[in-house]
Amino acid sequence: MKRPILPFAAALSLAVVAAVHGQQPAKESAPVKEAPPAPRGAVRDVEVRASLDRTAVWVADPIVYTVEVRCRPGVDILDEDLARGKIKLEGLELTGSESSREPAPDGSTVHRFRYALASYRVDLPALKIEKWPVRYFMKRTGMRLEDTPPAGEVEVPGAVVAFRSTMPDGQDAYELRDDRRPAARRIRYTLAQPVGLGLVVASIVPAAFAAVAFVTSRRNRPARSARQIRHDEAEGLEAVRAIDVGAVEGRREAYGRINTLVRDHLRAVGGVSAGSLTPAEIGSALTTHPGRIPTEMVDSATALLVECERARYGPADAMPTAAACRDAVSQAELVLAAR
């Protein structure tokens, strides 16, 4: 009777163990299923599109390669990732680039980069633009975009442009110049050469005579004497004193005449082109001719010219007072007396 019990007990214990293990969670996890792909039409953080304005070119033809990057709200890119130095070309040369940034109606931002390209090679059947990565970032309040870690990368697609040429492919060398001697000119063109040279010489001679006459007339122009200069300056000062400086327009006119008198005096006595120089330039030019005008008068003259410019071109509320204008007339008289 004992033999049947043993198999029954063994079977019972095996069933109990199996039941206990069946209730415990399995330690080995099942294979993880991949996330389903995003449905069509789902909004991406960044979308990149690239286009060419032509797919085939002749030598030196211009090509425009346009890259458009659309970033959803809260996402942006760095322009440096699409700078001139990032684009990699094969057989092409970058001749210019420009970029723009504009908001879209849905709140996203559209970046457009246009690259002007050209090719001057004839030994490549195809011209290539390599693809390159562009980082994008999530905007964070109080942080600059370049200080935040990139949220991911997108890839700017490359492009291939076919090259067109009338020259046969596969040559070891391309002779772009013809070594043949040019054809001889026709006899009428050969005879016309000395006639053309004679006409050129005939046109130069009157122009040379006119230039000499002009220089001679300038040299023979009678110069004003020192007495005449002093007389003209005295008359100019009297005309300035006769102006009513009580009104703003009167003071502006007075300062304009003072400016003319002082500049004419510095040109006649100091030997500088005071009419076309700024006050600072006049002071520097007068220092190269020491002795003609005393140094203290040079400083006074430049300060007076600065005051004249402020009065002539400044607003009405910044116009000097009538008393200051009379002081400027007295200062101009001292400058004109310095010789």
Q: How far apart are the C-alpha atoms of 85 and 94, rounded to whole Å?
A: 10
pLDDT, tens digit, 9 for 90 and up, residues 18-49:
443 444 433 333 333 333 444 443 458 999 99
CA distance 283 to 306: 11
CATH number for position 238: 1.20.120
Q: What tokens were used for 207?
A: 């122009």
Examine the domain organization and report whether 61 and 139 are in the same domain: yes
Specify if 201 maps to a domain.
Answer: no
Determine the Cα–Cα distance for residues 254 and 316; give it in Å rounded to an integer: 14
In a domain, 12, yes or no: no
Instruction: Give the span between the Cα atoms of 309 and 237, in whole angstroms.
Output: 18
- CA 157 to chain CA centroid, Å, is 29
3-state secondary structure string across the chain: CHHHHHHHHHHHHHHHHHHHHHHCCCCCCCCCCCCCCCCCCCCCCEEEEEEECCCEECCCCCEEEEEEEEECCCEEECHHHHCHHHCCEECCEEEEEEEEEEECCCCCEEEEEEEEEECCCCCCCEEEECCEEEEEEECCCCCCHHHCCCCEEEEECCEEEEECCCCCCCCCCCCCCCCCCCCCCCHHHHHHHHHHHHHHHHHHHHHHHHHHHHHHHHHCCCCCCHHHHHHHHHHHHHHHHCCCCCCHHHHHHHHHHHHHHHHHHHHHHHCCCHHHCCHHHHHHHHHCCCCCCCHHHHHHHHHHHHHHHHHHHCCHHHCCCHHHHHHHHHHHHHHHHCC
> What's the domain count of the chain?
2
144, 163, 182: which is the final residue of a domain? 163
Q: Is residue 26 part of a domain?
A: no
Answer yes or no: is 188 within a domain.
Answer: no
- Residue 23: partners with Cβ closer than 8 Å, 6 or more residues away: none
318 pLDDT above the threshold of 60: yes
pLDDT given for residue 42 in this prediction? 44
Q: Which of 136, 163, 190 is the last residue of a domain?
A: 163
State the CATH number of the domain containing residue 115: 2.60.40
My answer on whether 50 and 146 are in the same domain is: yes
How many residues comprise the chain? 339
Domain membership of residue 195 (yes or no) is no
- Banded pLDDT at 222 (limits 50, 70, 90): low
Would you say residue 65 has pLDDT above 90? yes
- Is the CB of residue 320 less than 8 Å from the CB of residue 251? yes
Q: What is the pLDDT of residues 237-266, one digit of tens each?
A: 899 999 998 888 899 999 999 999 988 888
Q: What residues have CB less than 8 Å from 291, skipping those under 6 apart?
A: none
Phi, psi for residue 272 in degrees, rounded to 5: -120, 155
131: pLDDT strictly greater than 80 = yes
Give me the residues paired with residue 113 across strands.
67, 99
Q: Which domain holds residue 230?
A: 226-337
Judge if pTM exceeds 0.75. Answer: no
pLDDT at 118: 93
Tokens of 226: 């020192």
138 and 63 in a common domain: yes
